[in-house]
A = this chain, B = another copy of it.
Amino acid sequence: MAKGNMLIGQSGGPTVVINQSLVGAILQAKKMKEIGNIYGALHGMKGILAEDFIDLRKESTKTLEQVAITPASALGSARKKPTDAECAKVFAILKKYNIRYYFYIGGNDSAEATHIINEQAQKVGYDLRCYHIPKTIDNDLRENDHTPGFGSAAKFVATAMMGDNLDCRALPGVKINIIMGRNAGFLTAAAALARVYPDDGPNLIYMPERPFSMDKFTKDVEAVYKKLGRCVIAVSEGISDADGTLIAAKFSKEVDSHGNVQLSGTGALGDLLATEIKNRTSITRVRADTFGYLQRSFPGIVSEVDAKEARTVGILAVKEALKGKEPSGSIAIRRKPGKKYAVYFERVPLASVSKETRHVPDNFINKKGNDVTQAFFDYARPIVGKLPKIGRFKGVKVKKA
């Protein structure tokens, strides 16, 4: 491999462990004699186009390790899909800075952007090693058993749901919790991990993989409420009706440059569902919370497995870029078969993780489309790790005097 400089950037929605991947890549790069300068692009594609780079060799190991455990893209992020003209410009900038090693941490949109840059390099025969490093709390990257960022976000959601279930048990009513996940319901499904006792919430789970019907929703809620006197519900922000229209889209016209409707940062969907339940039933205490950005940024609620794997994909991307046969790719997490949790990592082509995303598989969703199955628990538990222990009274009733 020719000696050259390295550029790394972070893109899309941050996660709690995205800096583990970044720091893993930097520390590995520092070991490689082929790599000269290590540049960090500020705010992803925006920083690349503006040549807004920082010198990552100037950061101490202490700072790097501190950044690694800090949530949210330390280099800054962006939701920017480069146009054809911008891709040409990016490519000119890579040449100008003699960048031969290019790493972009993100989801499927980031993989696509990386793919375009790589194709440009291939076309003109520019020797570029071009790797995507996976990241998304949505857990919707193809080729991956699961993605870095998901485990920790899932841990937050499950922990929050655990507390909220206790709160709703103390002050009973209907409680609707809106959970992130644009197209895939993995994070919403993770709410199920909160259950300790059989009657624990979430009592109902609605994922974008099944069409959402307000009538069915109302009936489901009424049935649980009748049985338990309360009902805690996990709803994905990405639920759509039978025609495929996002329920939340009725309230938001805002789209990013990838064409995605803004779903987070508003309580509108939760409030809509709460109002419907109030209007359609006789239940008086109906509340909605939208877990919002806390799901992807809350310091300290980290899955250890997730943090470790996030670090590993960063390290492996650099190793693969330098030692691998292919000039480009993404690092995918695969799970080994068997009862004991174990993963291995594989280089996959950029195109295989770009554009289309994956969804919660059918065997993780119950027949009624309002809960998860045991298969989901088996899948998610080792990724999320330990949750807080809670207790409740045996509650021996006193005979009335």
Contacts and interface: CB of A to CB of B under 8 A. Distances in A.
Interface string A166-203: 11011110010000000000000000000000000000
A170 B72 contact: yes
B293 A390 contact: no
A283 interface: no
Contact of A167 (B14, B301, B401): B14
A293 B164 contact: yes
A287 B299 contact: no
A70 B391 CA distance: 6
A190 B391 CA distance: 29
A59 B393 contact: yes
B401 A74 contact: no
A32 interface: no
Contacts of A267: 266-268, 270-271, 288-290
A56 B397 CA distance: 9
Contact of A66 (B10, B63, B97, B391): B391
Nearest to A251: B271
Chain A interface residue count: which class? Answer: 35 or more
A275 to B, nearest CB: 9
A240 interface: no
Contact of A299 (B55, B72, B390, B396): B390
Contact of A290 (B160, B290, B296): B290
Count identical subunits in the complex: 2
Interface stretch (A76-84, A323-331, A344-352): A76-84
Contact of A395 (B54, B69, B71): B54
B66 A389 contact: yes
A370 interface: no
B266 A288 contact: yes
Q: SS class of chain A's interface: helix, strand, loop or mixed?
A: loop
Most buried by B among A69, A97, A297: A297
Nearest to A299: B388
Contacts of A385: none
A73 B166 CA distance: 8
Contacts of A170: 10, 14, 43, 72-74, 76-77
A113 to B, nearest CB: 16
A274 interface: yes
A159 B301 CA distance: 10
B78 A164 contact: no
A388 B395 CA distance: 37
A287 B265 contact: yes
Given A267-B266, A390-B70, A58 B396 contact: yes
A264 interface: yes
Contacts of A287: 264-266, 293
The 7 lowest CB-CB distance pairs between A and B, nearest first, are: A267-B267, A66-B391, A265-B287, A163-B297, A289-B292, A72-B166, A299-B388
Given A67-B393, A78-B171, A267-B267, 7 more contacts: A52-B397, A63-B393, A76-B169, A265-B287, A265-B288, A287-B293, A289-B293
